[in-house]
Amino acid sequence: MKLLKSPLRYAGGKGNYIKNFIHLFPSLPVMGEGDGDKIKIIDIFCGGGSVALYLAQIGYKNIVMNDLDINLYNFWDILKNHSDEMINKLTLIWERVDIKSKESGQKLYNEMKENIKSEDKIDKAISYYILNRIVFAGMTELTTFSPTAWEQNYFNIDRINKLKKISDILQGIEISNCDYKEIFKVYKGNDNVVYFLDPPYDIKSNLYKNHGQFNHDEFISSLYNIDNKFILTYDCEEEKLNKLKSRYKVIDQEYNYCLNHKKNEDNTLSRRKRIEWLITNI
Ligand SMILES: C[S@@+](CC[C@H](N)C(=O)[O-])C[C@H]1O[C@@H](n2cnc3c(N)ncnc32)[C@H](O)[C@@H]1O
């Protein structure tokens, strides 16, 4: 079965990386065995939602997608609960733009930049989706129109139609908009919960809203004392992680960090390679 991927372009999306840690989740019931049904899996920094969507499609039942970004949360919530209206409106927009004209793309970008401030949650979600498809690197509200994304038809009718299937998958997923600390408090010590944790990268550039405010030291300390099961993927300096590495099981993976390039001696650019740490107490 071909699994559907996230409808969003998302920095640090784990769609391709999930095969490296999927075996760590509690196994799905086979002939009455396995914990997969009674365990609640919370994707606390869900972003583009690739992990939660993947788990739901392979049979996990009790999944939560959470993210602090309110407009991202609104997108998932509206896609789950008002998909028909969302898809109809998106189709009308797609029909009126000239997909071959970059000027048309730029105009749509300007329009959506205004619309995302709307009080209407459906319009807001539509703007979020369109911006995500047509700006640089999918950094929805943090960057500008990308003629390349437009030329590549990242905003297209097939993708809009696929949203219906994603909405069907979301019916089995709970969606929330909390700070990770609140969730840690609510489920403290609960043995039936597994967290999937993919926090913002510990780098200077802002890839997500709230990125600069994220306190990595505080996050690492709270994980050191946690009494819940977790799977963590973390792009962070090794020294900062030493505390966690001494306490939990670590599998390190080299991982291509796609948005950031470094200049070579001959002035060419190559992708920066960074270590994505995979750490778990399972
Ligand atoms: C590395 S991205 C997650 C990518 C995601 N795993 C995927 O596959 O697309 C980190 C996410 O954490 C969210 N975030 C930042 N601070 C947060 C906080 N304090 N609590 C919950 N989510 C937060 C950001 O909005 C961003 O979407």
164: three-class secondary structure by DSSP: helix
Mean pLDDT (10-residue bins), the chain, 282 residues: 93 86 87 78 97 96 96 98 98 96 96 96 98 90 90 95 98 98 97 95 68 86 95 86 90 59 59 75 94
DSSP state letters, 57-81: HTT---EEEE-S-HHHHHHHHHHHH
**What is the distance in A from the centroid of ligand 1 to the CA of 31?**
36
pTM, whole model, 2 decimals?
0.91
Give yes or no for a contact between 134 and 108, defined as CB atoms under 8 angstroms apart.
yes
Lining ligand 1 with CB less than 6 A are 10, 12-14, 44-48, 50-51, 67-69, 179-180, 198-200, 208-210, 214
Residue 13, pLDDT score: 85
Q: Which of 98, 85, 22 is nearest to 53 (CA)?
A: 22
Among protein residues, the one with the nearest Cα to ligand 1's atom 13 is: 45
Instruction: Cite the residue boundaries of each domain of the chain with CATH code 1.10.1020.
Output: 75-170
Cα angle vertex 149, ends 148, 154, to 5°? 145
CATH assignment, 18-67+178-280: 3.40.50
Mutate to test the pocket of ligand 1, among 16, 67, 236 (most ligand atoms within 8 A of CB): 67
Instruction: Cite the residue boundaries of each domain of the chain with CATH code 3.40.50.
Output: 18-67+178-280
**What is the distance in A from the centroid of ligand 1 to the CA of 194?**
17
CATH number assigned to the domain with residue range 75-170, chosen from the 4 options 3.30.1390, 1.25.40, 1.10.1020, 1.10.150: 1.10.1020
Residue 263's contacts (CB-CB under 8 Å, 6 or more residues apart) are 269
Residue 101, pLDDT score: 95
Among protein residues, the one with the nearest Cα to ligand 1's atom 27 is: 47
3-class SS string, 176-209 = ECCCHHHHHHHCCCCCCEEEEECCCCCCCCCCCC
- Residue 17: CA count within 13 A, CB half-sphere: 22
